[in-house]
Amino acid sequence: MKSDTIQDARLDSEKLPFHVAMIMDGNGRWAKQRLMNRVKGHEKGSKTVRSIVTAARELGIGMLTLYAFSTENWARPKIEVSALMMLLKRFLVSERDTLMTRGVRLNILGQQEKLPEDIQREAEKTVEMTRSNQGMVLNLALSYGSRQEITQGVQTLARKIKAGSIQPNDITEEMISDHLYTRQMPDPDLIIRTSGEYRLSNFMMWQAAYSELFITQTLWPDFTRDDFVEILINFQERDRRFGRVKCSTLKDGSPQ
Ligand code: FPP
């Protein structure tokens, strides 16, 4: 166990997922249930982001990816998009010190060039400042869409073929992975989606090939550290086979 993490006694640090990705859903419904504006749900959702980043770091998670804004979210009402951008900017600025003291390194996954210039600047500043941190990696997926990510990767590979630097048969799965925003990162071991929706919604479709999925009914603004711990306990009880059969303890090696 890392000495700077606060483990939960019910967790086995050897069996923790390294990379946890989260589809943070249900902010709008949380607000609607309280007869509030959707933006209030996003505000409460930002507070959950802070507590879950802290919890992930303390529990010893190596990499946390949060789906904060999708390529499709640009089509939401302008006022909601502006509110989300304001909350993102607030997070990027106000969390800098905390990310530094907790040793968290920030990355942005997605079409950074589509983000408002002030957000791009603040994101770059926080990414740069936290570059050498070793405690945990926090990926914020911003203007992220899996189809767009794969499309831009395919375009880059096609340009390399056209330039003659690679041949079509040189393309491997690893090469495709290396042309995604998640290049050099391990695939998520666990993807959690809040609010009871059973879909990936254009999130990490390539990387999710063997991710364990966990859908909780809890809405994102209500999601707590305890909910997270319960899901990690559930993950540790799962048998990940990656398409193979479980190794037998039988002497002849036949599958159980
Ligand atoms: C989905 O809820 C959530 C989002 C589209 C955005 C997630 C944003 C935050 C949690 C706040 C800001 C983020 C950071 C990193 C500070 P929804 O609006 O689709 O909910 P609904 O399905 O109930 O309508």
β-strand pairing of 63-70 with 136-144: parallel
The residue to which tokens 């040793």 are assigned:
103
Closest ligand 1 atom, residue 91 Cα: 16
The residue to which tokens 């640009």 are assigned:
74
The pLDDT of residue 245 = 81
68 lines ligand 1 (CB under 6 A): yes
3-state secondary structure the chain: CCCCCCCCCCCCHHHCCCEEEEECCCHHHHHHHCCCCHHHHHHHHHHHHHHHHHHHHHHCCCEEEEEEEEHHHHHCCHHHHHHHHHHHHHHHHHCHHHHHHCCEEEEEECCHHHCCHHHHHHHHHHHHHCCCCCCEEEEEEEEECHHHHHHHHHHHHHHHHHCCCCCHHHCCHHHHHCCCCCCCCCCCCEEEECCCCCCCCCCCCCCCCCCEEEECCCCHHHCCHHHHHHHHHHHHCCCCCCCCCCCCCCCCCCCC
pTM: predicted TM-score of the whole model, two decimal places: 0.94
The pair phi, psi for residue 105, each rounded to 5°, is: -100, 130
> What are the pLDDT digits (tens) for 121-170?
999 999 999 999 999 999 999 999 999 999 999 999 999 999 999 999 99
If one compares 201 and 243, the residue with the highest pLDDT of the two is 201
Closest ligand 1 atom, residue 84 Cα: 12
The pLDDT of residue 31 = 98
Give catalytic status of residue 25 as yes or no.
Answer: yes
Cα distances from 25 to residues 31, 50, 167, 200, in angstroms, run: 12, 15, 41, 11
Residue 152 contacts residue 159 (beta carbons within 8 Å): no
Closest ligand 1 atom, residue 66 Cα: 15
Supply the angle between the helices 78-94 and 117-129 in degrees, to the nearest 10: 30
Q: Which CATH architecture has domain 13-147+187-231?
A: 3-Layer(aba) Sandwich (3.40)
The best mutation among 30, 42, 138 to test binding of ligand 1, ranked by most ligand atoms within 8 Å of the C-beta, falls on: 42
Query: What percentage of residues in the chain have a pLDDT greater than 70?
Result: 95
CA dist 245 and 61 (Å) reads 27
pLDDT at residue 253 tops 50: no
Q: Give the largest Cα separation in the chain, rounded.
A: 65
The candidate with the shortest Cα–Cα distance to 27, out of 37, 19, 18, is 37
Average pLDDT score, the chain: 94
29 lines ligand 1 (CB under 6 A): yes
Give catalytic status of residue 73 as yes or no.
Answer: yes
Q: What type of residue is 196?
A: G
Where in the chain are the domains? Answer: 13-147+187-231
The pLDDT of residue 247 = 53
